[in-house]
Amino acid sequence: MLLLHLKFLNKIVLKQIFTSIKLLSCKGKKFYHLIHQLTGYYPSDAHLYRLAFMHKSLMYKGHNGSEINNERLEYLGDAILGAIVAHELFVRYPDKNEGELTKIRSRIVNRINMNQQALRMGLGELVQTQPQTDVAQTHIPGDALEALIGAVYLDKGYKAVTRFIVDRLMNNLDDSESPIQNDTNYKSVLIEWGQKNRCEVHFVTEEYPNKPEGQNSFIAMVYVNNELAGKGFGGSKKEAQQNGACEALSMLVGVEV
């Protein structure tokens, strides 16, 4: 029994040594330092970070037939991101009510901002897809950023991922990009939400019938999976669609905008 136990320990030690050798290879060392540059931490489990950049289009399969991609890490990172941003805003703005805090949080974690932050960090060049696509025009970079958050959490823990999110995502915003100062393009946010959640979003906009003089000229009906999710009025088609998307977001995800 003791001999078997020693053999098991030797296997673990050899595996750790082998992993270290791979890390010290030219390619592994470069990736090791790249993760440190992105997150501020050297990875203990480099596999998690490599997985964070593997898009589902690669169609990789594990030994047990399960898919190998970043979707599970993205799911985890999305939840961690929302919780940490909510807590940080709660501490930073003691004078703001629940609705105001929710509005600010939604502007930080929405797909548009996450994509912008991911591209700024250079994640667009790290994501692996098949076939190779211009990921800058998709939500893929933002998804990879959420997966990266999940990887940092699993590898380094809650305190480390909190520091990463606050330092690299929240404190990194310029004044011109402040979620408190800027209004969100609600239509774009809703469309991004639909893409991520595999929901069809479409707008039906027409002139508002029998409108009083000087009142709103257009009405926009917002449909999600062919069900009415919001309605907006405005002096232009664009304004009506924005107001309709705003109402739809409030109904669908509980975001007060």
Residues 247, 196 within the same domain: yes
- pTM tops 0.75, yes or no: no
Helix locations, 93-206, DSSP H: 98-109, 111-121, 140-156, 158-165, 186-196
Across the chain, mean pLDDT equals 81
What domain range includes position 204? 186-253
Residues 83, 108 within the same domain: yes
Residues 58, 166 within the same domain: yes
Reduced DSSP (H G I as helix, E B as strand, rest coil) percent helix, strand, coil of the chain, to 5: 60, 10, 25
β-sheet with 227-234: strand ranges across: 201-207, 218-224, 227-234
Residues 201, 165 within the same domain: no
Residues 46, 159 within the same domain: yes
pLDDT in tens, 151-173: 999 999 999 999 999 998 888 66
Residues 124, 229 within the same domain: no
> CA angle at residue 151 from 169 to 190, to 5 degrees?
55
Residues 49, 169 within the same domain: yes
Q: Which residues are catalytic?
A: 78, 146
- CATH code, domain carrying 135: 1.10.1520.10
| 3-class DSSP assignment, residue 191 | helix
Residues 228, 150 within the same domain: no
Describe the crossing of helices 71-92 and 158-165 by its angle, rounded to 10 degrees: 70
Domain count for the chain? 2
pLDDT in tens, 202-225: 999 998 766 555 456 788 999 999
Q: Provide the pLDDT for residue 111.
A: 77
In a domain, 7, yes or no: no
pLDDT in tens, 102-149: 778 877 887 778 888 999 999 988 998 888 777 877 888 999 999 999
Strand partners, 204: 221
Residues 172, 208 within the same domain: no
- CATH code, domain carrying 207: 3.30.160.20
